[in-house]
Amino acid sequence: MVVGSGGREHALAWKIKKDNPTAELFAIPGNGGISEIAKCIPLFAEKPEQIVDIAIQNNIGFTVVGPEVYLTAGITDEFTKKNLKIFGPSKKGAMLESSKLFAKEFMKRNKIPTADFEVVDNYNDGVGVLEKRAFPCVVKYDGLAAGKGVLVADNFNEAVDFLQKIYSDKIFGDTNNKVIIEDCLQGQEMSYLIFTDTMCFIPMAPAKDYKRIFDNNKGPNTGGMGCYSPPFFFSDKLESRIQQEIVFPTLSGLAKENIDYRGALYFGLMLTRQGPYLLEYNVRFGDPETQVILPRLESNLLDIMEATAEQSLKKCSAEWSNKKSLAVILASSGYPGEYKTGKEITNIEKTKTSDVVIFHSGTKKEDGKILTAGGRVLAVAATGDNFEEIRQKVYRAVDIINFEGKYYRKDIGLESFI
């Protein structure tokens, strides 16, 4: 059973079904694309107990959790109590993402390179800190915010406006009032993910994500507008530094602090002139990173995830294709702000080839039609031998797919071959 409704969950379901064609696959709640390969149960709830009941009722042998909200709510702990197998960290482990402050203090305790930071818990103190800061700087809401809780502020007014939205407009609610203000690191950003059972790890293929809404990395942050793998600047030497300076200290810190972590662990990195710095942890597969990483995985994904959950990962290995992969997100006009849903999506079937895969994110199936149901709607992904060829495949498919208000970036992966 795959828990979640986004493009990441469609990619997970797609890979599981591809590797295990006879497996009976369920999804909660799933989406329009997942419904074509799995039985979708329309439960829109974050209460782990309800999902535990469904797992028992349907005799689910293994569960994979996509979104962080379920992990933060303690779904793994509840499944473990019932001796049900599940892939994803404990509630305590999920704090690496659910609290940016916890993550930053964890990095500091374990001597993991990260940007210097200060913490405030009210508007006036935040303004006071900003008055003494050089710009650009980064303002982060402490809790979960669906990828929209971080602002890279170019000037004082932008930063103060974000504080106003957090403290006065309460755009993220009023249960958490902590904000982190930190130095803005300069360099190349990239995503590095691993499978880990705390005791050991298997690296995944690296990826480069595009978080800003507009071309040339302009505009507000989103959940991700496109991705490619591997980054053109990635090397064995760089990977060795990432593992030695960030991955190993992280796993050592988890062990020292008795945090049971069995799942995917995502390192959001900034590659500076001084070396790799850790921006953030995510406690699950990335989105849209998953849509470009899994098409390159030649090993059986389910075998690796089961070994992770059973803490027998040291017996496993992962084989990765030498092919390259790239994905472009088709979004609803207005995203990451307000947008309309319920628009019919046409021509998806005309894009499918052996190299192009369409992963559904914000979609639903209704009366035989696929409709938009979210900000990020589809990921158009392709694999190939070089990025120029792959970009042509992807953007050809992007042009064919239609829905009212379709928006996408036109520069995904462009840097990889210029």
**For residue range 165-207, what is the model confidence (pLDDT) as tens digits?**
999 989 998 888 899 999 999 999 999 999 999 999 999 999 9
Of 63, 18, 56, 61, which Cα lies nearest the Cα of 37? 18
Q: How confident is the model at residue 323 (pLDDT cuts 50, 70, 90)?
A: very high
- Looking at the structure, give the CATH architecture of the domain made up of residues 117-183: 2-Layer Sandwich (3.30)
Question: What integer best gives the mean pLDDT of the chain?
Answer: 95
Of 135, 133, 121, 134, which Cα lies nearest the Cα of 163? 121
CA atoms within 13 A on the CB side of 247: 23
Of 213, 408, 257, which Cα lies nearest the Cα of 330? 408
Per-residue model confidence (pLDDT) at position 418: 63
Per-residue model confidence (pLDDT) at position 144: 81
Domain ranges of the chain: 2-88, 117-183, 188-315, 324-416
DSSP label of 247: I
Task: Spell out the CATH class of 188-315.
Answer: alpha beta
DSSP label of 112: -
Q: How confident is the model at residue 148 (pLDDT cuts 50, 70, 90)?
A: confident
pTM of the model: 0.93
Of 138-147, 183-192, 257-266, 308-317, the poorest mean pLDDT is in 138-147
CB 333 within 8 A of CB 339: yes
pLDDT of 312 > 90? The answer is yes
pLDDT tens-digit series, residues 50-102: 999 999 999 999 999 999 999 999 999 999 999 999 999 999 999 999 999 99
The domain over range 2-88 is classified in CATH as 3.40.50.2000: no
Average pLDDT of the segment spanning 95-119? 95
Q: What angle do CA 257, 263, 267 make, to 5 degrees?
A: 75
Q: Please report, rounded to a whole number, the percentage of residues in the chain having pLDDT higher than 70.
A: 99
Q: Give bridge partners of residue 36 from the DSSP assignment.
A: none
Per-residue model confidence (pLDDT) at position 175: 80
- The CATH homologous superfamily of the domain defined by 324-416: Phosphoribosylglycinamide synthetase, C-terminal domain (3.90.600.10)
Per-residue model confidence (pLDDT) at position 45: 67
Of 19-28, 106-115, 176-185, 243-252, the poorest mean pLDDT is in 176-185
pLDDT of 233 > 80? The answer is yes
Q: What angle do CA 297, 148, 231 make, to 5 degrees?
A: 35
Report the DSSP pairing between strands 2-4 and 26-29: parallel
